Chain A
């Protein structure tokens, strides 16, 4: 009711607007207003900042690669220590067992963020690019290519994600690099479907008809009309997928499907730390999990916020 009153002026405005996401600054301002999404964005940025810091100035966080990690090694005592402040900041969250040695938990967790985030972005970037382009073209062209794409994605969708990942990792090899390739192979259909749906919608709109009538080719239409409009749901999906991939990596490491025991990864830390649960050592399990949980929650908040802001229907 009140919306209709308030939107009298706005409605006519939206009708005239070319539905490209034309004003990024406006979108960003709206996002700033959404407090919950901002919290999500800030936490996500902190995670990326830590990962970035770790890459550029490894000395500050104490670990850059496995070799520096080894400098924390205390071969004498393997029993994990409880969290304490006495041994400096890196013992703040206690110690854990990692490849048969004792390690402070906080530095390994921080060090693993860089790998998790790096691989997540790599997978999502390739998956999103390939999927979006294929989906846009197929959705826009329709007909035979669309049908083939849909059947292929159907098959991918007909197997639970984790099982599909298991099968492809089994095929390629149970190491982290191969796991990354396997995830790229199974990740693009998500974006292909998303983009295809959006492309079908865009195709039905008047301005595309006008462009086609004035002689624009399919490719030109896809790149000048479909892709810009597909981008906003793709962004939302990317933000959500960063969390999903971090979780999937953690699961694959935890189950030992990716068998790189020296690789600092949150699931791997939990996997190796859980053998001490029987004597009441809970922190190697709980703390890396909180790192995953916090990241997934914040990208979800960010994704929801983005969706609200980018969806013209919900936009205010």
Chain B
């Protein structure tokens, strides 16, 4: 019951942050001159004459009004799905449509990496944290510090060198493709109706693995799984290292607390002391830091998409930057912000679940 109110309060608190996020994006936009904003708003492919489109753009952005009013125009256009137009070599079209096409892929990478690293980090961190200064602990610390400190693009390149297909000729470990989402060879000459040859995307989720499973194309599913391997492993290693550091520290900290002594004095067997009394408390600081770790993961996803040519909104954002597509930059910034806010909301709810003291 209390938990429900807590969640509602958290949801309400999202609104000011969301408005602030829109304000930041809006201010970024307003740093550019009107003419630039209008010129980039125009869809060159449509048949409507330039002057008419320019007037429409001016109206949509509310440029005739003072800046305070423009903010509300921008807010309105964001929520009505009118996010502007971007034109880059890899994608040209409305920004929102580009995000719809490529956001699932980004989400897939982040979620898979999060699930995998949390699933590995909790048992591993429990094992290591329960044995401070043992050999396993030392190895774990070297591992987590090493991967935590490693630039993610460099880790990706290293993995490409070590495990990448055809990177080093004759490498027996070179099993995994290093670029793309699936092998084009696994698409038959006459492509199935759910495959769009012009964008190279599958339907309906735009995730090759999921779509292949939905449509029962096992060859494509296996192919896309192989292509997914290296990006996910890279992200998982990076995130795992971060989480492991905090779980380990939390375990060591919690095991020195008085309540652990109480538990032992009650005759609770050691494995239950670790699982029930130490670990539950150790997860609290870890969860609080998870939001920040997820933010750095999202940054990592951008890099990974670029290195592995795994087209998602990270690549979209980078290409928007390279090609001066301002609405692409604004749109991707906004959607990354919203994703992080959603992740933080989930983290906050998880926090309330774990720590009863927070649900006041």
Contact check: which of A155, A162, A292 meets B299 at CB < 8 Å? A162
> Quick check: is B311 within 8 A (CB to CB) of the other chain?
no
Per-residue 0/1 for B274-292: is the Cβ within 8 Å of any A Cβ (1 yes, 0 no)?
Answer: 0000000000000000000
Residues 141-172 of chain B, each 1 if its beta carbon lies under 8 Å from chain A, else 0 = 00001101111111001101100000111000
- Give the residues from 230 to 251 in chain A that come closer than 8 angstroms, CB to CB, to chain B: 243, 247, 250-251
Instruction: Say yes or no for A126: interface residue by CB 8 A criterion.
Output: no
Closest A residue to B329 by beta carbon equals A170
Main secondary structure of the interface of B (DSSP, over half): helix
Segment of A22-30, A78-86, A277-285 in the binding face: A277-285
The closest CB in chain B to the CB of A299 belongs to B149
8 pairs of A and B residues whose beta carbons are closest in the complex = A162-B299, A296-B149, A289-B154, A155-B20, A160-B298, A159-B337, A297-B149, A163-B336
Does B303 sit within 8 A of A, measured CB to CB?
A: yes
Does A274 touch B at the CB level, under 8 Å? yes
Complex alpha-carbon distance, A296 and B298, angstroms: 20
Cα–Cα distance between A243 and B149 once the two chains are bound (Å): 8
- Given A166-B317, A254-B153, decide whether A158 and B337 contact each other with a Cβ distance below 8 A: yes
Number of A-B contacts defined by CB within 8 Å: 135
22 contacts between A and B (CB under 8 A): A151-B16, A155-B24, A158-B17, A158-B337, A159-B337, A159-B340, A160-B340, A161-B295, A162-B303, A166-B317, A166-B321, A170-B320, A170-B326, A170-B329, A171-B32, A250-B151, A250-B154, A254-B153, A255-B318, A274-B157, A280-B168, A289-B150
Contact of A257 with B by CB under 8 A: yes
- Most chain B beta-carbon neighbours within 10 Å: one of A160, A243, A255, A300: A160
Say which residue of A152, A163, A247, A285 sits within 8 Å of B333 (CB atoms): A163
Contact A257 B318 (CB under 8 A): yes
Is the CB–CB distance between A300 and B148 below 8 Å?
yes
CA distance A182 to B18 in the complex (A): 22
CA of A170 to CA of B32 in the docked complex: distance in angstroms?
11
With both chains docked as a complex, state the minimum distance between the C-beta of A291 and any C-beta of chain B, in angstroms: 10
| Given A155-B23, A285-B157: A160 and B149 interface contact (C-beta under 8 Å) | no
- Residue from A152, A168, A289 in contact with B157 in the complex, judged by beta carbons closer than 8 Å: A289
Structural contact, A154 and B299, CB atoms closer than 8 A = no
A125 within 8 A of B: no
Answer yes or no: A169 CB below 8 A from chain B CBs.
yes
> Nearest residue in A to B29 (C-beta to C-beta)?
A171
- Interface residue? B31 (CB, 8 A): yes
Q: Are A257 and B154 CB-contacts (below 8 A) given A158-B20, A163-B333, A243-B149? A: no
* Bound form: Cα–Cα A292–B150 in Å: 8
Chain A residue contacts of B300, Cβ below 8 A: 162
Interface residues of chain A, those whose CB is within 8 Å of chain B, are 151-152, 154-164, 166-171, 174, 243, 247, 250-251, 254-257, 267, 270, 274, 277-278, 280, 282, 285-286, 289, 292-293, 296-297, 300-301
Let me know if B306 is at the binding interface, CB within 8 A.
Answer: yes
Please, what's the 1-or-0 string for B289-313, where 1 marks a CB less than 8 Å from any CB in chain A? 0000001101110110010000000
Q: Which of B49-108 contact A (CB under 8 A)?
A: none
CA distance A171 to B336 in the complex (A): 17
Residues of A within 8 A of B148 (CB): 300
B167 to A278, Cβ gap below 8 A?
Answer: yes
The chain A residue sitting closest to B153, CB to CB, is A254
Separation of A257 and B55 alpha carbons in the complex (Å): 33
Q: How far is the CA of A154 from the CA of B303 in the complex (A)?
A: 24
> Given A155-B20, A247-B151, does the pair A160, B167 have CB atoms closer than 8 Å?
no
CA distance A250 to B16 in the complex (A): 34
Main secondary structure of the interface of A (DSSP, over half): helix
> What is the minimal beta-carbon distance from A259 to any residue of chain B, in angstroms?
8
Residue of B nearest to A165 (CB): B299
Contacts of A158 in B (CB 8 A): 17, 20-21, 337, 340-341, 344
Q: Which residues of A contact B360 (CB under 8 A)?
A: none
- CB-CB under 8 A from B272, the residues of chain A are none
Whether B336 pairs with A160 at a CB distance below 8 angstroms is yes
User: How distant is the Cα of A297 from the Cα of B31 in the complex, in angstroms?
Assistant: 38
**Cα–Cα distance between A160 and B344 once the two chains are bound (Å):** 12
Q: Is the C-beta of B28 less than 8 angstroms from some C-beta in chain A?
A: yes
Q: Is the CB of B150 within 8 A of A293?
A: yes
Q: Which B residues lie within 8 Å of A267 (CB)? A: 151, 153
Task: Give A152 to B153 CA distance when docked, in angstroms.
Answer: 30
Q: How far is the CA of A285 from the CA of B298 in the complex (A)?
A: 23
Chain A residue numbers with a CB within 8 Å of B152 are: 251
A286 to B150, CA, bound (A): 12
Note all chain A residues with C-beta closer than 8 A to B320: 170
Quick check: A161 and B167 within 8 Å, CB to CB? no
Complex Cα distance, B317 from A224, in Å, reads 46
In the complex, are the beta carbons of A159 and B21 less than 8 A apart?
A: yes
Taking CB as reference atom, which chain B residue is nearest A298? B149
Contact B296 A289 (CB under 8 A): no
| Docked-complex contact A251 and B318, CB < 8 angstroms | no
Q: Contact between B299 and A163 (Cβ–Cβ < 8 Å)?
A: yes
Shortest beta-carbon distance, A176 to chain B, in Å? Answer: 15
Tell me the nearest residue of chain A to B24, going by C-beta.
A155
Which B residues touch A169, using CB under 8 A? 321
Nearest chain A CB to B313 CB, angstrom units: 10
Q: Is the CB–CB distance between A159 and B333 below 8 Å?
A: yes
Cβ 8 A contact of A251, one of B151, B158, B169: B151
Question: Are the C-beta atoms of A285 and B154 separated by less than 8 Å?
Answer: yes
Inter-chain pairs besides A158-B20, A274-B157, A285-B157, 18 sampled, C-beta below 8 Å: A151-B16, A156-B24, A158-B341, A159-B336, A159-B340, A160-B295, A163-B336, A166-B333, A167-B28, A167-B330, A168-B28, A174-B321, A243-B149, A254-B153, A285-B154, A296-B151, A300-B148, A301-B145
Which residues of A lie under 8 Å from residue B236 when comparing CB positions? none
- Please tell me if B126 contacts chain A, counting CB pairs below 8 Å: no
Query: How many angstroms between the C-alpha atoms of A277 and B169 in the bound complex?
Result: 11
Given the known inter-chain contacts A163-B336, A170-B321, please indicate yes or no for A292 contacting B154, CB distance below 8 A: yes
Are B332 and A160 touching (Cβ within 8 A)?
Answer: no
Assembled-state Cα–Cα distance A169/B320 (Å): 12
